[in-house]
């Protein structure tokens, strides 16, 4: 066991999923987060787990549930594939351990709701979702400009999110559940209100996305300012989210853009 000079033990994190994001989290936890260390790593691809183990000195474990239950593990970081998140987050809640889950929390509303219900039944906050844009300096500047009405009230928020490629094996819906979740999250956060309606368009696939339906979501965000009870809620803004593969961005770089119209 590693003990800090002041006698306190570092927060020991168990990492599930040692791919691109998992390896990056491990690097940051080991090298940039004071008072934290990676204590155990689990990946169905043992070679990936070994790579992170070599870089961090953590233990490799083959069973994610044993990693979560391990008494040396204080907190859990889930960076495995989207469809696996729910069972690991539920196990972390059952073990009473804080868990950072990479987005999406789960690829379905029902899965997300089961997690919310489990956390509610547990009785206190344990789960954080990796919506890191809320901490990004550029997004924070945009949020400040909107909150301070620097350019007036937003009417339309147009978000563009270009991915270098679709993840192999992902269904078309993953364009929303895996990519556009970022924009759905920041739309609510930037505009300070809930999405009340969503429409999904499936235009002709782009050449770079052959074989996928490339869906595009459009959200209507409510205005909660007082309205006559007989009226429909007013629309504060429409968030049109365009997510598409792009050949003009380097590999593993998302290219999110925002544009808003104001009055």
Ligand X SMILES: NC(=O)c1ccc[n+]([C@@H]2O[C@H](COP(=O)([O-])OP(=O)(O)OC[C@H]3O[C@@H](n4cnc5c(N)ncnc54)[C@H](O)[C@@H]3O)[C@@H](O)[C@H]2O)c1
Least distance CB 223 / ligand X (angstroms): 29
Q: In whole angstroms, what is the distance from residue 119 CA to residue 117 CA? A: 5
Stretch 143-172: interaction string toward ligand X, x if CB under 6 A: ------------------------------
Q: How many residues does the chain have?
A: 263
Q: Which of residues 17 and 245 has its CB atom nearest to ligand X in the complex?
A: 17
- Answer for which of 19, 205, 215, 233 binds ligand X (CB under 6 A) is 19
Q: Which of 80-88, 140-148, 193-201, 232-240 is the region at the interface with ligand X (rule: CB under 6 A)?
A: 80-88
Of 132, 131, 108, 128, whose CA–CA distance to 119 is shortest? 128
Q: Which of residues 68 and 195 has its CB atom nearest to ligand X in the complex?
A: 68
Structure tokens at 164: 């270098």
State yes or no: residue 30 binds ligand X (CB under 6 A): no
Q: Is 249 helix (H, G, I), strand (E, B) or coil?
A: coil
Q: Which of residues 103 and 154 has its CB atom nearest to ligand X in the complex?
A: 103
State yes or no: residue 84 binds ligand X (CB under 6 A): yes
Q: Which of residues 80 and 242 has its CB atom nearest to ligand X in the complex?
A: 80
State yes or no: residue 16 binds ligand X (CB under 6 A): yes
Q: In whole angstroms, what is the distance from residue 148 CA to residue 186 CA? A: 17
Least distance CB 81 / ligand X (angstroms): 4
Q: What burial letters (b/e) apply to 112-124, b meaning 16+ CB within 10 Å?
A: bebbeebbeeeee
Question: HSE (CB half, 13 Å, CA atoms) of 34?
Answer: 2
Give the bridge partners for 219, in sequence order. Answer: 198, 239
Percent of the chain that is helix, strand, coil (3-state, to 5): 35, 25, 40
State yes or no: residue 188 binds ligand X (CB under 6 A): no
Q: Which residue is nearest to ligand X (CB)?
A: 19
What are the backbone angles phi and psi of residue 199, rounded to the nearest 5°? -125, 140
- Answer for which of 30, 33, 55, 130 binds ligand X (CB under 6 A) is 130
- Answer for which of 10, 17, 111, 217 binds ligand X (CB under 6 A) is 17
Tell me which residues touch ligand X (CB under 6 A). Answer: 16-22, 42-45, 48, 64, 79-82, 84, 102-103, 130, 132, 178
């Amino acid at each position: 066991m590693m003990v800090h000079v002041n006698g306190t033990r570092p927060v020991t994190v168990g990492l599930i999923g040692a791919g691109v994001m998992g390896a990056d989290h491990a690097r940051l936890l080991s090298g940039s987060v004071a008072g934290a260390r990676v204590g155990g790593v689990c990946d169905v691809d043992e070679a990936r787990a070994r790579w992170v183990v070599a870089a961090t000195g953590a233990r490799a474990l083959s069973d994610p549930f044993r990693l979560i239950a391990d008494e040396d593990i204080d907190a859990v970081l889930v960076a495995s594939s989207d469809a696996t998140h729910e069972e690991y987050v539920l196990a972390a809640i059952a073990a009473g351990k804080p868990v950072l889950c990479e987005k999406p929390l789960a690829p379905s509303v029902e899965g997300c709701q089961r997690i919310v219900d489990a956390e509610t039944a547990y009785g206190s906050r344990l789960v954080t979702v990796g919506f890191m844009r809320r901490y990004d300096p550029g997004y924070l500047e945009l949020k400040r400009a909107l909150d301070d009405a620097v350019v007036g009230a937003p009417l339309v928020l147009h978000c563009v999110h270009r991915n270098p490629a679709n993840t192999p094996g992902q269904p078309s819906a993953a364009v929303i559940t895996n990519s556009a979740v970022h924009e759905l999250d920041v739309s609510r956060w930037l505009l300070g209100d809930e999405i009340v309606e969503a429409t999904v368009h499936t235009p002709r696939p782009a050449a770079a996305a052959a074989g996928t339906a490339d869906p595009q979501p459009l959200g209507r965000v409510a205005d909660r300012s007082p309205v006559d009870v007989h009226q429909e809620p007013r629309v504060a803004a429409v968030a049109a989210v365009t997510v598409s593969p792009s050949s003009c961005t380097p590999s593993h770089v998302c290219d999110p853009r925002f544009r808003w119209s104001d009055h």
